[in-house]
């Protein structure tokens, strides 16, 4: 098994804007990183999914929409493309959990319908932003036996996108008495953006 890690770093985007980062080395050559155990088996230091997840602190995993995706193919670029798509889907699921948590934590005097409508609007907006998610890091492995590439990608979404969607949803739901503890929510959103910006430096 051969493997290479790509650290993909993009410049910090203008506030409230985000683009897919695809910079980095093009078609890198996999290198061997495994070690032999006492039984003769070769062991990778860490499972790639766990290694990527551990790039984030616990606070970042709770604050930033993120996801890890896996793509496998005999074609290197196809494997990478699939891994990004899978990571974006996972990021979308994570985003929905964050949105639900924010509304549960900061919405007051809200009837069930108002909260559901607001949550649906926010999630629909966030879904449209996933193509603009940031490819933070990629790990690539190559299996010489079956000639297949396995690509693991960690994707992040700027929490500012959730903040935008929240503001729009709140404004459109005023007539349904969607009351938000805006000051406390703003503090939390700023904390989320701070954690994201740490990773973009």
What's phi and psi for 67, nearest 5 deg?
-165, 150
Question: How large is the average pLDDT for residues 91-107?
Answer: 85
CA distance 1 to 16: 41
CA distance 61 to 84: 18
CA distance 20 to 85: 12
What lies within 8 Å, CB to CB, of 92 at 6+ separation is 65, 67, 126, 127, 130
* Amino acid 172: pLDDT: 66
CA distance 116 to 134: 28
* Amino acid 110: pLDDT: 60
Give me 33's structure tokens: 């990183």
Confidence of residue 178 (pLDDT cuts 50, 70, 90): low
DSSP state for residue 153 in the 8-state scheme: E
What lies within 8 Å, CB to CB, of 28 at 6+ separation is 4, 6, 140
Q: Is there a contact between 117 and 181 (Cβ–Cβ < 8 Å)?
A: no
* Amino acid 184: pLDDT: 75
What lies within 8 Å, CB to CB, of 13 at 6+ separation is 19, 158, 200
- For the stretch 129-157, pLDDT in tens is 888 889 999 999 999 999 999 999 999 99
- For the stretch 39-87, pLDDT in tens is 445 545 578 999 999 999 999 998 899 999 999 999 999 999 999 999 9
Cβ atoms within 10 A of the Cβ of 41, count? 9
Helix (H) or strand (E) holding 151: strand 148-156
């Amino acid at each position: 098994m051969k493997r290479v890690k790509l650290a993909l770093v993009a410049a910090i985007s203008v506030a409230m804007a985000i683009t897919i980062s695809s910079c980095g080395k093009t078609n890198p050559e996999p290198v061997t990183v495994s070690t032999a155990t006492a039984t003769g088996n070769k062991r990778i230091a860490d499972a790639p999914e766990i290694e990527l997840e551990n790039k984030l602190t616990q606070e970042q995993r709770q604050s930033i929409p993120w996801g890890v995706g896996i793509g496998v193919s005999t074609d290197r670029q196809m494997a990478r493309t699939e891994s990004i798509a899978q990571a974006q889907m996972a990021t979308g699921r994570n985003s929905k959990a964050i949105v639900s948590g924010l509304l549960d934590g900061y919405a007051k005097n809200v009837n069930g319908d108002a909260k559901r409508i607001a949550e649906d609007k926010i999630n629909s907006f966030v879904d449209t932003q996933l193509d603009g998610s940031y490819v933070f890091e990629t790990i690539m492995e190559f299996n010489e036996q079956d000639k297949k590439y396995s690509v693991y990608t960690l994707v992040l979404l700027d929490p500012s996108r959730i903040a935008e969607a929240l503001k729009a949803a709140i404004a459109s739901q005023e007539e349904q008495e969607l009351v938000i503890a805006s000051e406390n929510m703003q503090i939390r959103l700023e904390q989320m953006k701070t954690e994201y910006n740490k990773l973009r430096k």
